[in-house]
Amino acid sequence: HHPNNLLVGLNLRDRRMFDMYRIDLTTGAVMLDTENPGDVLGWATDANFVIRAAVATNPMDGSTILRVRDGKDSPWRDLITWPFGENGGPVDFTADGKAIYVETSIGADTTRLVKVSLADGKELETLAQNDKVDVGAVEIHPDTHVVQAVGFNYLKNEWTVLDPSIKADFDYLATLQRGEFGLVNRDLADNKWVIAYDTDDGPVSYYLYDRGKKKADKLFVSRPELEKYTLATMEPVVIKARDGLEMVGFLTVPPGKEAKNLPLVLNVH
């Protein structure tokens, strides 16, 4: 909806921090849009492409602060504070600008995707949660700003589809090729999707998917030279530690070899 406007962070005013500038791609005009008070590391826009959220850090206690404002000329106010050790941050605004989608670990062992009121910071609902792993990729419709799917990567990325209108699409894409897929981009009509498949034994593959025909055509791979080789796969394994904690690992065995009596390299990370 704003094809001729670009928001860019530039440290022109003060080399120590980045303010946000709005650039008109037609005229080339560069205007200061939002000034950084000094502690902001990231910004978020609402459905009208107005900067209305900021993520700041408090160097005194290591906490992270989500600030919001009701409009471009409205004052900023703290909405949520994550103490040191907690994780969270904004994902997107709702279409009406009255609520914001947020990832937060407060009240749980893993991050949840929740909908929060802009008026008072209260959680309105939990959209997605997994007790074993944090929220991963979040797919949001660019026009309606409805959360359509949430990825959770425990052993591998698995999509939790929240929007029934894309359920059949995700079911089809899950069977198209081995690997984990993600939606790279889509056309304005939301009929053509660019899909990327990340595999453990080959390069990233890109497809053009037609939603109406339920058909995908392969476009290219990122590193075609890799297709000449037989690469090893990564098989997920869950290892139970002495205290009962279940740790996720991935076992890679040379192609054609049995996973028995082989030398082992353990990469702890």
Q: Which pairs count as long-range contacts for 203-211, CB under 8 Å and 24+ apart, including other chains?
A: 203/227, 205/177, 205/179, 207/176, 207/177, 209/169, 209/173, 211/169
The alpha-carbon radius of gyration of the chain (Å, integer) is 22
Q: What is the pLDDT of residue 14?
A: 95
Q: What pLDDT is stored for residue 157 in this prediction?
A: 96
For residue 269, the model assigns a pLDDT of 81
Residues of the chain with pLDDT under 50: none
Nearest Cα neighbor of 199 from 178, 227, 175, 176 is 178
Q: Where are the alpha helices (DSSP H) in 198-250?
A: none
Q: What is the pLDDT at residue 215?
A: 97
pLDDT tens, position by position, 212-250: 999 999 999 999 999 999 999 999 999 999 999 999 999
**pLDDT in the model for residue 218:** 97
pTM here is 0.91
pLDDT at 209: 98
